[in-house]
Amino acid sequence: MSLLRNTLIVLILLTIAWAGFLSITFILAYTLFPAIEYTDGSLTLGLLRVAVGIIVITLWIYGWYTLTKIWLRKMLSE
């Protein structure tokens, strides 16, 4: 029973990771591609888009690290 439960938890964690990865990829593409191609015509808006992209990816990495750490500790403690 424990092996089945741990496998289910890992599958849920991977599903959350992929869903998060896809949403973060969309956000980064939406914010960074116009800044890279300089379609806005404004340096301030381009820098703001890059800053938002960096903040989003940093928060995603930190959130993923925290979620993994919590779930792995929970799995290993049982």
Q: Which domain holds residue 64?
A: 2-77
From 22, 52, 21, 49, select the one nearest 36 (Cα to Cα): 49
Domain count, the chain: 1
pTM passes above 0.85: no
The residue behind tokens 């599958």 is 11
- pLDDT tens digits, residue range 22-52? 988 888 888 777 777 776 677 788 788 888 8
> In the structure, what pLDDT confidence band is assigned to residue 62 with cuts at 50, 70 and 90?
very high
Q: Which pLDDT score is estimated for 31? A: 78
Q: Which pLDDT score is estimated for 2? A: 83
The answer for 42, left when phi > 0, alpha when psi is -120 to 50, beta otherwise, is: beta
Q: CA–CA separation, 32 vs 58, rounded Å?
A: 14
Q: How far is CA 42 from the centre of its chain?
A: 28
Instruction: Using alpha carbons, list the distances in angstroms from residue 63 to 53, 60, 67.
Output: 15, 5, 6
